[in-house]
Amino acid sequence: MEKNDFTGYILAGGGSSRMGRDKYALELGGQTFLERAAGVLRGACGDVKVVLNQTQMIETDFPVVRDIFAGRGAPGAIHAALQDCATKYALVLAVDLPLVTAEAVARLAETALEANKFPACVVRQTDGRPQPLFAVYRVRYCLPALENLLNENPTASVRDFFDLAYPKFVEQRLLSDDEDLLLNVNTPEDLARATRK
């Protein structure tokens, strides 16, 4: 695998009202969620950056990318990553998925290279739903489609984007045996569950 084909983006601009504090600063195994995400992306990506909303301020040594479409949630964050990306692929990972491993990232990147006729490779969770915030997007194909969608539809969802982009869905079990690989930490209870892993 060629690391220089991929730029890693940690999506850290979402709200954290249910957690009561910023999720990027939560700790697991002696590392913040931001440090964990960067660590797992480094093995597959030539560079790692952090995507934030337009007003968020955090202390980080990583380059920061800001949302262009303010308040648009996941589609806006993915768009910001694609707009910034100078490599063939943007590998995105939400900061609140702290159980994703470097091995799972590497397998997803390899799958994207093997399935290069698809505009994106998106992990499908064990419940059958896609997880658009652990995915690889081909910039050349995905950026124009997503930008047009965001310009035309103020309430566009990632599902709307997938209707245009036709991604390859990668089953979670092909990346890891851990059922909790994509545990999304939104509440103190979720954090306690992640800590028990």
Segment 86-137, tens digit of pLDDT: 999 999 999 999 999 999 999 999 999 999 889 999 999 999 999 999 999 9
Domain count, the chain: 1
Residue among 49, 42, 44, 46 at smallest CA distance from 63: 49
Give the per-residue pLDDT at 59.
80
Q: Residue range 145-157: average pLDDT?
A: 95
- Please write the tens of the pLDDT for every residue from 15-58: 665 656 678 888 899 999 999 999 999 999 999 999 998 777 78
Inform me whether the pLDDT recorded for 145 exceeds 80.
Answer: yes
Judge whether residue 77 has pLDDT over 90: yes
Helices (H), strands (E): how many in the chain?
6, 9
Cα 18 vs. chain centroid, distance in angstroms?
20
193, β-bridge pairs? none
Tokens coding 157: 């969802």
CATH number at residue 109: 3.90.550.10
* Domain range enclosing 168: 3-195
Rg value, the chain, Cα: 15
Neighbouring C-alpha atoms within 13 Å toward the C-beta of 67 = 21
Q: 3-state DSSP call for residue 124?
A: strand
| SS3 category, 132 | strand
Q: Would you state the pLDDT for residue 16? A: 63
